[in-house]
A and B are shown apart, each in its own frame.
Chain A
């Protein structure tokens, strides 16, 4: 009996390690029907047609798109003649700038958010302090740290450029009040920004293969780790609670307990943004809304109150590897940092962190990251 004991121990260990190896490395299970529905909901093919923007009568006017594109890249609309919208919203970086906080004339207060797909969002900025693309476009022009220009200079720049002035007049008619003309310029920029959209990523091709039940193509598109990462993404890791829909954002405001930027008090986020948008003269309720009947349900029913403390708008995850660093102050340098943060879900410095600790293993975090990288795909926009 005694001579057999070591053999039994070795046999048990061998079986146990084989079982462990198998459980870690066996091919991922097939997608359930429920999971397939979830995957379809994230698929770019599921993105509805861009809803009309009745607040901007030139939103889908090709001349406005062309005019807006020219304005977007024009550095004359700044105090030093060197800053355009594209200084921070660089097309090759998915319309961000690769910096923790935007740098133009000065340093902006937050990380530069992407423009891609924002035509679908009821709120703009990390704190949602604007409620349309056109009202958003106006604010950096007058921000002393960004373009440091003003509305009179902006209008003068348009009037003095023959081509711009011709396009302006064809869209909006003759000169009018300063604020009206300024709002019109924002509407032209927004017409261009409405065209900035994500494109099909490897993830979308994979979902197409899942929907078509093409296992060979699935295997060719996604590694086992990417499949496991995707399963975590739509399951255990709770990512789709906020990063849902084809743009992988709910465009709503959440506190995820990010740490303050060195030397700064914690950012109060949406609680300040909601006050600002309600007061904004260019908001949906304002006189520059072009809609015959102002339907401002987002503004009218917007949530206020202390639960907004320290909350920020969920960013889209499309092409996210090209939008580092992450967080409203660019606090997190890499995707691994972001995942480590959610895995820990520490208490928020102000307000309450809505995320709960995930307690995923390093291997699972790596799988999640592998999946997130399959979302890489450049944005499309009207080329030059």
Chain B
């Protein structure tokens, strides 16, 4: 079984490679490369007034004059009009922002801090922008193929005024997850879970990756299983996270849970119950046990003041 930490790492990498498949900035053999669809250019950013000739690939240390340079590695870029836009990150996707997220922005101009309209640059492409503020930004480079009118784009999220920690927080997060996974496998987490305070469980829930969301009406339910993935014939607990479709956590809901195997027309062997409202939309569900392998469905019925909906969560053992 793949450990959950590894799975999460894998998920991250997959997400990243998906982003780059559509175009972005990556480091390859120590050089920074921007991929605009299949077209590549050596990418570098300078902050000459504060860092002299030092090159940066994505994140920039200071809100200062920044010179973005693309040296084409593919001749086609020399014949394509290129435009260059920098926006404040209004997507909320951070590092995982993709072209679809940019396209979904209602007022791109309002978020734009720099725009260089399309120019044909046969030699080397460069733009200069002075950042007024630190923060999260997204760069969008678009190249138009004169032959077929197709627009190729690269999207690269970056931070201005970064801490210099780089990917360390991500690494530490992954290490924590791997450790939690280890504890779960060894059963220690289970013992800890049984006697821990709601606050500690809530913290654990926030650290653990959640399942794919399931929808019904206005509710979205995700869950995690802090004792490790559900195993056959083992009593275990879930943490449910209930949010409205606007993304707000649903607090203080009355929740009933049942489940069964549709193919076999029978229910769960137990009667699970929400035993604790952990706050912030998190609920502790105890008494879950599956006694057959195959496709199960969990029915989570949420009653709030206005409505009642049953969210169906599919799970395969």
Contact = CB atoms under 8 A, between A and B. Distances in A.
Interface stretch (B64-72, B177-185, B273-281): B64-72
Given A259-B53, A346-B52, A349-B48, A268 B123 contact: yes
A262 B65 contact: yes
Task: Name the prevailing secondary structure of the A interface residues.
Answer: loop
A158 interface: no
B67 A260 contact: yes
Contact of A306 (B44, B123, B126, B127): B123
Contacts of B69: 266, 349-350
Interface string A333-363: 0000000000000110111000000000000
A262 B52 CA distance: 11
A266 B128 CA distance: 9
- Bin the interface of chain A by size: 10 to 19
Interface residues of B, number: 17
Nearest to B127: A265
Interface string A262-291: 111110100110000000000000000000
A272 B124 CA distance: 11
Given A268-B123, A350-B126, A262 B53 contact: no
A34 to B, nearest CB: 35
B14 interface: no
A349 B123 contact: no
B46 interface: yes
Given A346-B53, A347-B53, A349-B69, A265 B48 contact: no
B55 interface: yes
Given A257-B53, A346-B53, A350-B71, A263 B126 contact: no
Given A263-B65, A268-B123, 16 more contacts: A259-B53, A260-B46, A260-B48, A260-B128, A264-B128, A265-B128, A268-B124, A306-B123, A306-B124, A310-B124, A346-B53, A347-B55, A349-B48, A349-B126, A350-B69, A350-B126
5 contacts: A263-B65, A266-B69, A268-B124, A310-B124, A349-B46
Interface of B: 44, 46, 48-49, 52-53, 55, 65, 67, 69, 71, 123-124, 126-128, 130
Interface of A: 257, 259-260, 262-266, 268, 271-272, 306, 309-310, 346-347, 349-351
